[in-house]
């Protein structure tokens, strides 16, 4: 990362002016801008054709009302979003998030990151993101279904297998995808498998998609440690969150010989010094939709801590897999003090910019989400491939493809960082490699 040169500074001031009160979006843009000084010098056509300015402006932003009726017969009103950010490399692709914190800034930051992440996968997918401020917590299955149906009653007209292909994210898993896909099918009268990814494996979903983001992040961690002559075996691992990404990051870290001792949810964090019992976590979270504190009620030697930060738990490897800005400067200092050697982001933008600087200055290996968590969307692209050929692949084959993709993303980031004079800086490597791939396609297509 470096100070912005004069031209980048001017462009950044302009995007700030055009996108006020959107702190997450501004944060995500600044991180990319900070990687681009030498890129802009090497490729004058990018400035001349205003490609960066065009990339920062979403191609289309859809905001809509989502009215629905709860189990008490009360009318509820939520807000739905889909930001179709960039389609230079393929149809818009990215998840849908249901969480009360969702607003336009959050969806724009996620959509912006998704452009470069998807480019890094090497698959033909553009970038987009959607969601709603709907809070699924405590809602009945029927309420979730009615909400999803109302959400899709507007969204259906904007998506399609060649246009925009949503998937899951926070608060959206195969259950919600099922309700949304069902409503899409009903309204359009088309069984268009490729319009959604993350579908149930019995009706068009891909094996290994559920595991892909967490597994992919750990494949990335393995490659990053390997580049430093190290490995995962015997390492103590802490994973934040206990949702889809966290659960399968824990699983793969364990399979590679790591000892995972802590995870969390928004109510607090759980420590089991003997190593987490993953089957128990899966039952509590995936079957019972429960809280992680339940684990400590069932297991006497485990502790649940409602206040404080999971990053105070000493570890070799930290995998933030919950949400944006969940690991701040204080947490980063604590990790460094405790001897942490690597931080690999399963979530999107979980480390604050100050935390990233602290980790990088302390020579902790740091992998940004847009590289390390790209395995989820990459496997979504594999699901699209299976749907297009009306085929379904084995778990083993699909996971092998995922592994190859993650090894390649690591290699691309590593080599790009070296080529641009900042060896070991995966932020620079990921941003530059992703950005150049998008710029190249946009340049070829003229001013669009």
Dig out the tokens for 15 from the structure: 């995007």
CA distances from 93 to 196, 242, 339, 350, 406 (A): 9, 24, 38, 21, 18
Query: Does 376 engage in binding with ligand 2IT (CB under 6 A)?
Result: yes
**Minimum separation from the CB atom of position 291 to ligand NDP (A):** 7
Candidates 86, 173, 242, 348; binder of ligand 2IT (CB under 6 A) is 348
**Helix 395-419 with 209-227: angle, nearest 10 deg:** 40
Judge whether 129 counts as a catalytic residue: yes
Instruction: Give the nearest distance from C-beta 20 to ligand 2IT in angstroms.
Output: 25
94 binds ligand 2IT (CB under 6 A): yes
Sequence length of the chain is 448
3-class DSSP state for residue 197?
coil
95 touches ligand 2IT by CB under 6 A? yes
Interface pick for ligand NDP out of 241, 268, 368, 429 (rule CB under 6 A)? 241
SS3 111: helix
Return the residues of window 332-371 that contact ligand NDP according to CB under 6 A: 346-348
In 3-state terms, what secondary structure has residue 403?
Answer: helix
| Composition of the chain by helix, strand, coil, percent to 5 | 50, 15, 35
Based on the shown chain and the rule CB under 6 A, indicate whether residue 245 belongs to the binding site for ligand NDP.
Answer: yes
- CB under 5 to 8 A by kind: which of ligand 2IT, ligand NDP, none does 245 bind? ligand NDP
243 lines the binding site for ligand NDP (CB under 6 A): yes
Cβ-proximal residue to ligand NDP, closest one:
243
Per CB under 6 A, does 266 bind ligand NDP?
yes
Given 93, 108, 117, 129, the catalytic residue: 129
Greatest Cα pair distance, the chain, in angstroms, is 64
242 makes contact with ligand NDP (CB under 6 A): yes
Alpha helices, H only, 89-230:
104-121, 141-155, 174-188, 209-227
* Eight-state DSSP code of residue 262: E
Piece of the chain touching ligand 2IT by CB under 6 A; list 90-98, 219-227, 295-303, 308-316:
90-98
Instruction: Kindly state the tokens that stand for 141.
Output: 């299955």
One residue of 170, 302, 356, 413 binding ligand NDP per CB under 6 A:
170
Stretch that binds ligand 2IT, among 20-28, 79-87, 88-96, 226-234 (CB under 6 A): 88-96
Report the Cα–Cα distance between both ends of the chain, in Å, rounded.
Answer: 29
Helices (H), 19-140: 23-33, 37-42, 44-48, 51-56, 104-121
Residues marked as catalytic: 129
The residue ranges that bind ligand NDP (CB under 6 A) are 99, 101, 168-171, 213, 241-246, 265-267, 321-323, 326, 346-348, 373, 376
The residue ranges that bind ligand 2IT (CB under 6 A) are 93-95, 117, 167, 169, 197, 348, 376-377, 380
């Amino acid at each position: 990362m470096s100070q912005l040169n004069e031209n980048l500074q001017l462009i950044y001031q302009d995007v700030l002016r055009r996108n006020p009160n959107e702190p997450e979006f501004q944060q995500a843009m600044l991180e990319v801008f900070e990687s681009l000084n030498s890129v802009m010098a090497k490729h004058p056509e990018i400035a001349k054709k205003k490609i960066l300015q065009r990339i920062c402006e979403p191609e289309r932003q859809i905001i809509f009302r989502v009215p629905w009726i709860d189990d008490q017969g009360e009318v509820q009103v939520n807000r739905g979003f889909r930001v179709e950010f960039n389609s230079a490399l393929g149809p818009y692709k990215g998840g849908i998030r249901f969480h009360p914190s969702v607003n336009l800034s959050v969806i724009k930051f996620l959509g912006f990151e998704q452009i470069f992440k998807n480019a890094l996968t090497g698959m033909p997918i553009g970038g987009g993101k959607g969601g709603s401020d709907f809070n699924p917590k405590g809602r009945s299955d029927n309420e979730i279904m009615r909400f999803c149906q109302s959400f899709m009653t507007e969204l259906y007209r904007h998506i399609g297998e060649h246009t925009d292909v949503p998937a899951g994210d926070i608060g959206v898993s195969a259950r919600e995808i099922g309700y949304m896909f069902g409503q899409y099918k009903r309204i359009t009268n088309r069984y268009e498998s490729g319009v959604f990814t993350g579908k149930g494996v019995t009706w068009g979903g891909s094996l290994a998609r559920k595991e892909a983001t967490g597994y992919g992040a750990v494949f990335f961690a393995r490659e990053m440690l390997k580049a430093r002559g190290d490995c995962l075996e015997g390492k103590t691992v802490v994973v934040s969150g206990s949702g889809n990404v966290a659960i399968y990051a824990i699983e793969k870290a364990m399979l590679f010989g790591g000892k995972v001792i802590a995870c969390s949810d928004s109510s607090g964090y759980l420590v089991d010094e003997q190593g987490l019992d993953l089957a128990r976590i899966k039952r509590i979270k995936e079957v019972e939709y429960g809280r992680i504190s339940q684990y400590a009620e069932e297991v006497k030697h485990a502790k649940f801590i409602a206040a404080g930060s999971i990053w105070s738990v000493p570890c070799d490897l930290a995998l933030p897999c919950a949400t944006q800005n969940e690991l701040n400067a204080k947490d980063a200092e604590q990790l460094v003090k405790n001897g942490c050697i690597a931080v690999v982001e399963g979530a999107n933008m979980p480390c604050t910019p100050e935390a990233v600087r602290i980790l990088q200055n302390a020579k902790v290996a740091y992998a940004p989400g847009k590289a390390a968590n790209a395995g989820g969307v990459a496997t979504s692209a594999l699901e699209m491939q299976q749907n297009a050929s009306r085929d379904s692949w084995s778990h083993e084959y699909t996971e092998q493809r995922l592994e190859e993709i993650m090894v390649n993303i690591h290699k691309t980031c590593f080599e790009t960082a070296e080529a641009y004079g900042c060896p070991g800086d995966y932020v620079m490597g990921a941003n530059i490699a992703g950005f150049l791939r998008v710029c190249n396609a946009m340049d070829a297509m003229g001013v669009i």
